[in-house]
Structure 1
Amino acid sequence: MFARTVCRTPVLASFRSRPHQIPSIRQYAVAANEDVRAKLMEGLKTAMKAKDASKSTIIRSMLSEVYDADKKKQEKIDTPAIQALVQKAVSRRKDAAKQYESGSRPDLASQELAEASILSAYLPPLLSTSEVDRILQEVISENDIKLENPAQVNMVVGKVFRAFYARVDKTSVDSAYVRRKAEELVKGQ
């Protein structure tokens, strides 16, 4: 009995002398740059509390993709990378819905579109088409981009893309619309 008390005393004394180590045991605080990750976790909690199995499964699959990317990079990925992962998941589901519709399976297509709408709630809102048009016009005029040779359309559009995406995050715009509008503006000069 006396031996146990003697053995425990140094352990407790060591904790008292190093109180700064106790809080470091649990580091689950959400950093400022992990708002999408936090939103996904909060969405999972609410779906589980509401016993919504389909929504919780979708969010779990998205979180598993995020955790897989964390492991590949060997550190937590930042918010733009998570947004890109969510955007890819949404586009995969929309493509699957198109394939199901072409295969005469509207039930599966509607399920994929519902999953895409659930995941798109975790993305920031897209820029409006008028905002994209304005930024493209500014990029072309500021960088003095002109089409001198009609055979070099792709090269000139590439310059417009580089300048445009230097200003705007890729996840905040519809890239197909940006491509169409950039080609239209370059050819219209």
Structure 2
Amino acid sequence: MGLKEQITEDMKTAMRAKDSGKLGTIRLLTAAMKQKEVDERIELTDTHVLAIIEKMIKQRKDSITQFEAGGRQDLADIEKAELAVLSGYMPAALSDDEISGEVAAAVAATGAAGPQDMGKVMAVLKPKLAGRADMTAVSALVKNALSQA
């Protein structure tokens, strides 16, 4: 079963269980998925769905930071609940050692010699690590690896 089908099944389950918090979050996710399908006239793959979920997770994290800074813990708690539901659809995160190994392999595979080759290395890593690692941290690791090369 693909990720899109899993999300649809989870929505049905949440409806039956009358779990309004989870249902609302899944409906937001399905709306974002449908919007992308309509806008780009494509059938979403798991990669597309993961990209949408990553974006929504990033939005939730930003909102939590802002709400907590503004003293609105009630709103931050709602965002945290949504974040928990969305995070459930992400694949298992890679460890720092695994990410470092992937970076080293990508640098070797592309023959990158310095910071000017960062785009080539990131192009190799992005499909492999999407949804399984924070790409900002990966970018920092690549930059560090290339500056020492």
Number of positions where the alignment pairs a residue of Structure 1 with one of Structure 2: 149
Instruction: Report the Cα offset of residue 140 of structure 1.
Output: 1.5
Is 1:82 matched up with 2:49?
Answer: yes
Distance 2:89 2:121 in 1: 29
Identify which of structures 1 and 2 has the higher relative contact order when contacts are C-alpha pairs closer than 8 Å and 6+ apart.
2
Q: Larger deviation: 132-141 or 70-79?
A: 70-79
SS of residue matched to 1:122: coil
Larger radius of gyration: 1
C-alpha distance in structure 1 between counterparts of 2:27 and 2:63, whole Å: 19
> What is the distance in 1 between the residues matched to 2:23 and 2:13?
9
- Scaled by the length of structure 1, the TM-score of the pair is 0.72
Superposition deviation, residue 58 in structure 1: 0.9
1:162 corresponding residue in structure 2:
123
Alignment match, 2:142: 182
Q: Among residues 13, 34, 45, which one is paired with 1:67 in the alignment?
A: 34
* Backbone CA RMSD of aligned residues: 1.7
Map of 2:81 onto structure 1:
114
Alpha-carbon deviations, 1:143-188, whole Å to 9, x = none?
Answer: 33223xxxxx3x232232123235x142232101101111121223
Q: Counterparts of 1:2-151 in structure 2 under 5 Å?
A: 35-147=2-114
CA drift at 1:55:
1.0
Distance in 2 (CA, whole Å) between partners of 1:49 and 1:144 is: 54
Structure 1 stretches of 5 or more lacking a match?
A: 1-31, 148-152
SS class of match (1:172): coil
Would you say the 8 A contact 2:126–2:135 is kept in 1? no
Listed one character per residue, the Cα deviations across residues 29-58 of structure 1 (whole Å, up to 9, x for unaligned) are: xxx6xx111111111111111111111111
Once the two structures are superposed, residues 65-86 of structure 1 have per-residue CA deviations (whole angstroms, 9 ceiling, x without a partner) of 1112222233422221111111
Relative to structure 1, the CA distance from residue 183 to residue 70 in structure 2 (aligned partners, 3 Å threshold; closer, same or farther) is same
Amino acid in structure 1 at the alignment position of 2:9: E
Matched position secondary structure for 1:81: helix
